[in-house]
Amino acid sequence: MVLMELMDYANAHNMLKKYRIKSVESAYVTSAKDAVSFSRGDRIVLKVLSKNALHKSKNRLVALDLANPKEIEAAYSQLDKRARQFRPYRILAQKMVKNGLEIIIGCKIDQQFGKMILLGLGGIYVETFRDFALRVCPITKYDAQSMLQQLKSKQVIAPTADSERLITGLLLKVSSMFMDNSFTELDLNPIMLHDNTYDAVDLRIIK
């Protein structure tokens, strides 16, 4: 039996940075005051991280679009109370990425084919529309381009040559990271595409 372990978010964030994969600014906070200080006047998200509550939204462990100290303090207090049934836990603050298109890039080990990479619409849409492409790792630039072409949502996800280059480059980086490390699973969902760039918002790496 193989024991799987969820990588700490901060370590996962640093892993992405090593491969020059952008992720949204984040920090662990231990008090409402910490969360307010982190915001520096920007809108933020607070989320509870616990291996006992992998589905944060279903367990009401996420507070979005917090705009001022009063909202942040109230949300922190509420999340802290809800999270106690999922101990041990930590609370993560992130800068809010409000506008953008959600995509998913995920990797896993298939018993027959080995390491695989997936691209599709992100968030709830990956399960709703089942519009995704799979390839065996490591992938080439041609593989990454063909994954995009396979998607019914290609013109939504990558309507321009620049956006196509952005996503194919990101796919190649994620493939390299998965090949270089002994991960069992890797999920970047959602990745927010916005303003000709992107930010990985939710990171999950299982060792």
- pLDDT of res. 168: 97
pLDDT confidence tier of residue 8, bands split at 50, 70 and 90:
confident
16-40 exposure pattern, b = at least 16 Cβ within 10 A, e = fewer? beebebebbebbebeebebbbebbe
- Model confidence at 3: pLDDT above 60: no
- pLDDT of res. 59: 84
For 62, counting Cβ atoms within 10 Å of its Cβ (0-12 exposed, 13-18 middle, 19+ buried), the class is: middle
- pLDDT of res. 36: 97
Mind listing the pLDDT tens digit for each residue in 48-90? 998 887 778 788 899 999 999 999 999 999 999 999 999 999 9
- pLDDT of res. 98: 77
Residues in the chain: 207
- pLDDT of res. 123: 65
Q: Which two tokens stand for residue 186?
A: 């890797």
pTM above 0.75, yes or no: yes
Mean pLDDT of the chain, nearest integer: 91
- Model confidence at 93: pLDDT above 90: yes
Mind listing the pLDDT tens digit for each residue in 149-195? 999 989 989 999 999 999 999 999 999 999 999 999 999 989 999 98
Give the whole-angstrom CA distance, residue 145 versus residue 57: 32
User: Beta-strand (E) ranges in the chain?
Assistant: 26-29, 44-49, 62-66, 90-95, 101-110, 114-121, 132-136, 185-194, 197-200, 203-206
Distances (CA, A) of 126 to 5, 78, 105, 171, 204: 24, 30, 10, 17, 16
- pLDDT of res. 27: 93
Go through the domains of the chain in sequence order and give each one's CATH number: 25-95 (3.30.1490.20), 101-206 (3.30.470.20)
- pLDDT of res. 95: 94
Least trusted range by pLDDT, from 7-16, 38-47, 121-130: 121-130
